[in-house]
Amino acid sequence: MQGIKYYLVVIATTLNFIIGLTSMNLAQTDALPSWNNGQVKESIIKFVTDVTTQGSPDFVPVAERIAVFDNDGTLWSEKPFYNQFAFIVDRVKEMAPQHPEWREQQPFKAILEGDTETLAASGMEGLLQLTMATHAGMTTVEFTEIVKDWIGKAQHPRFNRLYTQMVYQPMLELLTYLRSNGFKTYIVSGGGIDFMRPWTEKAYGIPPEQVIGSSIKTKFEIREGKPVLVRQAEIDFIDDKEGKPVGINKFIGRRPILAFGNSDGDLEMLQWTEAGDGSTMMAIIHHTDGEREWEYDRNSLVGKLDKALDIARSQGWLIVDMKRDWRQVFSFD
Amino acid sequence: MQGIKYYLVVIATTLNFIIGLTSMNLAQTDALPSWNNGQVKESIIKFVTDVTTQGSPDFVPVAERIAVFDNDGTLWSEKPFYNQFAFIVDRVKEMAPQHPEWREQQPFKAILEGDTETLAASGMEGLLQLTMATHAGMTTVEFTEIVKDWIGKAQHPRFNRLYTQMVYQPMLELLTYLRSNGFKTYIVSGGGIDFMRPWTEKAYGIPPEQVIGSSIKTKFEIREGKPVLVRQAEIDFIDDKEGKPVGINKFIGRRPILAFGNSDGDLEMLQWTEAGDGSTMMAIIHHTDGEREWEYDRNSLVGKLDKALDIARSQGWLIVDMKRDWRQVFSFD
């Protein structure tokens, strides 16, 4: 029995190896079809080849191939404002009948009256109030259903597409390419962890346990004999700026070897990645395409890219010029 | 090319299938050799078979096969006191020359003088002081080195073995058995997340990103031009009791279908698992073997098992009787 099994294993391994070679050849031609040929695409392929080639001085074992991606502006669009903010606005409108007091209470009143000026003036404090009113008070299971329901029907105001269609085709290809090369792909976003987890697996192939984000506290309770986790109106963790390396260390416990971001909020994550031993790749998505997407950097309120752009240039990080480097932006283009 | 590849794939798949069958037969005979035959072992195998058999009413897709394990007293011994406490004691002694003030300051003085009575009397507050003095103040990279150094040489006082040898052989087999059946195995422990992560991959085959535990805060800083995370003397999260479901939701974002614990600190994790849809397995390791390991439950300070034992019985959870169900306890037995 052992003898036969041994021969079967040898034959199967050999065949798998040959299949692997032919697949690799196919993959090398086609892995990133939405990326224009040029230095950026070449750099990505060279990096992945170097860290995955056994015997290469830059070889990295599979377990350590951790790749982290910001979400807003890196994997999907973040204009005219963060998509999670559209969720908040829709939720306030939907919940308003149960909250008659909101008709006289800012910043809720501003949303109900479409008064964007007052809304903007409410600033961070207003945003926090709106977030807690729409994200806390229910169980985790209930909140997941609310998000699933919204993401399944809400449409982006400019493109009239589902938000999950507002994801970048070149980045989807990159995620798939990395995973087929043994990378574990993570989201590390300032957005809400529980806002992302219900749909990232379907949209990006990234499962909930590989999504890191900002969070509010939850509390264990027994309700009618059944345990539930109730979402509390209290910040647990802000996964932005210097919070990103903190979140990476907390959730993953390993340092990434590849990091993609697009704004100053990603700077510390990129620096933390760069400081690792061995070969690393840090990249910035530069929004340069006002026609197919948006054009913004230093003066944008959402996704401001200023200091991180200077450092990316001085450190020689990869700068993806959306207009130049992406043949296609969205999958529906 | 495509034609040849197709035939190779068919042949390889067929061979892999045959190999799979023979391996399965072997596995069914041998997967849990350190477990005595009986109801407990049968229940485990039945559960795993049910949730992994396509077409079974209890079938669970691979992505949702999440298994969580307490660490202290569930995967490794926790007597005469938590192993992490031995680390604290050794660290205080090692750091004492740099802290002459400890010779007059409790609870440090008690450790240096071997005064266990005063040490015990210092209670939770004393423990917190000792933890912060030994776990905070350095970078995350430095702390990992300190733990690796200690775990590589420190010995258990009763068995004179490395602490990583104080792991339960039946549980190692169970972890391997589950992983070979598509489960993702997690540790969910009240112990320090950064105390466990440096050695769990080698000891249990559980990588750092699948270790959840208690934590202190870290702070991102640039030191001499290089980014570091500095460990702060401030609690971030206590992963015990009602903290366990909170931690599971935060880190994994999915509900487990299998949970093993051994003390009242695991009760809420087991309840949270039980409340899921579909087939679930909840288990308690009952320490009943004073000869080969230890015998304790309701009256133990470390690993107290009281309320959870009653609920386990009334709910029909699996109760592993160490003396009856384990043929072998440690790998060195």
User: Given a cut of 90, is residue B18 above it in pLDDT?
Assistant: no
CB contact under 8 A, B18 and A11: no
Put simply, the answer to whether A252 touches B209 (Cβ < 8 Å) is yes
Task: Give the pLDDT confidence score for residue A333 in this predicted structure.
Answer: 87
pLDDT tens-place string over residues B106-140: 999 999 999 999 999 999 999 999 999 999 999 99
Cβ of A250 within 8 Å of Cβ of B215? The answer is yes
Does residue B320 sit in the same domain as residue B232? yes
Q: Is the pLDDT of residue A207 over 80?
A: yes
Residue range A269-309, pLDDT digits in tens? 999 999 999 999 999 999 999 999 999 999 999 999 999 99
Q: Is A250 helix (H, G, I), strand (E, B) or coil?
A: helix
- Give yes or no for residue A91 having a pLDDT over 60: yes
Do residues A167 and A330 touch, judged by C-beta distance below 8 A? Answer: yes
Average per-residue pLDDT for chain B:
94
Same domain, A121 and A204: no
Substitution target from B145, B209, B212, B235 for chain A, most A beta carbons within 10 A: B209
Q: Do A5 and B22 touch (CB under 8 A)?
A: yes
Range of the domain at A98: 83-151
- Examine the domain organization and report whether B71 and B208 are in the same domain: yes
Of B285, B313, B308, B317, nearest to B78 by C-alpha is B285
Residue B30 has pLDDT above 90, yes or no: no
Q: What is the pLDDT confidence band of residue A164, given thresholds at 50, 70 and 90?
A: very high
Residue A124 belongs to a domain: yes
Domain with residue A222: its CATH number is 3.40.50.1000
Q: Which site among A11, A236, A250, A314 would you substitute to test the B interface, given the most B Cβ atoms closer than 10 Å to its Cβ?
A: A250
Distance CA B154, CA B149 (A): 9
B242:A253 CB<8 A:
no
Statement to judge: residues A202 and A226 lie in one domain = yes
- Rounded to a whole number of angstroms, the distance from the CA of B260 to the nearest CA of chain A is 18
The band of A326, judged by pLDDT with boundaries at 50, 70 and 90, is very high
Asked if B249 is an interface residue toward chain A (Cβ–Cβ < 8 A), one would say yes
* For residue A7, pLDDT beyond 90: no
Position A21 scores a pLDDT of 53
**A268 in contact with chain B, both atoms CB, cutoff 8 A:** yes
Distance in angstroms (rounded) separating the CA atoms of residues A206 and A197: 9
Tell me whether strands A226-237 and A211-223 are parallel, antiparallel or unpaired.
antiparallel
- The rounded percent of chain A whose pLDDT value lies above 70 is 92
Answer yes or no: is B303 within a domain. yes
- Cβ distance of A249 and B12 shorter than 8 Å: no
The whole-number pLDDT of residue B154 equals: 98
CB contact at 8 A, B228 and B245 = no
Given this model, what pLDDT does residue A30 score?
81
Identify whether residues A179 and A130 lie together within a single domain. Answer: no
Query: Given A151, A185, A205, which residue is the final one in a domain?
Result: A151
For residue A287, CA distances in Å to A131, A292, A321, B29 come to: 27, 10, 7, 59
Q: Helix axis angle, B39-52 relative to B169-180, nearest 10°?
A: 20
Mutate to test the interface with A, among B201, B226, B229, B280 (most CBs of A within 10 A): B229
Please name the residue of chain A whose CA is at the shortest distance from the CA of residue B184: A209
Tell me the C-alpha distance between B112 and A298, whole Å: 57
Q: Is B310 inside any structural domain? A: yes
What are the C-alpha distances in Å from B17 to residues A5, A13, B178?
A: 12, 13, 20
Whether residues B111 and B246 share a domain: the answer is no
From the list A8, A219, A252, which residue is nearest B18 (CB)?
A8
Whether residues B290 and B179 fall in one domain: yes
Is A60 part of any domain? yes
Which region holds residue B55: left if phi is over 0, alpha if psi is between -120 and 50, else beta? left
> What pLDDT score was predicted for residue B1?
43
Nearest partner of B19 among A74, A318, A193, A6, judged by Cα: A6
Confidence of residue A19 (pLDDT cuts 50, 70, 90): low
Helix (H, G, I), strand (E, B) or coil at A55: coil
Q: Which tokens in the block code for residue A155?
A: 């449409």
Residue B222 has φ and ψ, to the nearest 5°, of -100, 115
Place B10 in a pLDDT band, splitting at 50, 70 and 90: low
Q: In chain B, at which residue ranges do the beta strands (DSSP E only) sit?
A: 66-69, 184-192, 211-223, 226-237, 258-261, 281-286, 318-321
**B308 SS3 class:** helix
- Looking at the structure, do residues B172 and B282 belong to the same domain, yes or no? yes
| Mean predicted confidence (pLDDT) in A169-175 | 98
Nearest Cα to A212, choosing from A192, A231, A184? A192
> B229 to chain A: which residues are within 8 Å by CB?
245-246, 249, 272
The answer to whether A307 faces chain B, any CB pair under 8 Å, is no
| Bridge partners, B229 (sequence order) | B220
> Looking at this predicted complex, what is its ipTM?
0.91
- For residue B318, tell me if it sits in a domain: yes
pLDDT surpasses 60 at B275:
yes
Return the H-helix or E-strand segment holding A210: none
Instruction: Report the alpha-carbon distance of residue A44 to residue A189 in Å, rounded.
Output: 22
Residue B199 and residue B240 share a domain: yes
CB of B229 within 8 Å of any CB in chain A?
yes
Residues 26-85 of B with CB under 8 A from A: 63
B125 inside domain:
yes
Domains identified in chain A, total number? 2
Q: Which residues of chain A have a CB within 8 Å of the CB of B245?
A: 220, 227, 229
A208 vs B275: CB contact, 8 Å cut-off?
A: no
Q: For residues B187-206, give the mean pLDDT.
A: 98
Domain boundary pick from B151, B179, B208? B151
Assess whether pLDDT exceeds 90 at residue B28.
Answer: no
Tell whether B181 and B319 lie within a shared domain: yes
Chain A CB contacts of B211 under 8 Å are: 253
Pick from A54-63, A143-152, B19-28, B281-290: least confident: B19-28
Both tokens of A43, joined, read: 């750099």
pLDDT tens digits, one per residue of A94-137: 999 999 999 999 999 999 999 999 999 999 999 999 999 999 99
3-state secondary structure at position B306: coil
What pLDDT sits at residue B9? 56
Tell me, rounded to whole angstroms, the distance of Cα B148 from its chain centroid.
Answer: 17
Task: Provide, as residue numbers in chain B, all residues whose Cβ is less than 8 Å from the Cβ of A19.
Answer: 5, 8-9, 12
Distance of residue B98 Cα from the nearest chain A Cα, in angstroms? 29
Q: What is the mean pLDDT of residues B203-226?
A: 97
In a domain, B119, yes or no: yes
B316: exposed, middle or buried (C-beta count within 10 Å: 0-12, 13-18, 19+)? exposed
Helices (H), A31-122: 39-52, 83-95, 108-113, 116-121
Taking the model in full, what pTM does it have? 0.91
Residue A209: is its pLDDT beyond 80?
Answer: yes
How many CB atoms are located within 10 Å of the residue B3 CB? 7
Q: What is the mean pLDDT of chain A?
A: 94
| Residue B333 confidence class, pLDDT cut points 50, 70, 90 | confident
pLDDT at A157 over 90: yes
Q: A264 and A191 in one domain?
A: yes
Least confident of A239-248, B26-35, B127-136, B210-219: B26-35
Q: Residue B20: inside a domain, yes or no?
A: no
Q: Are residues A97 and A72 in the same domain?
A: no
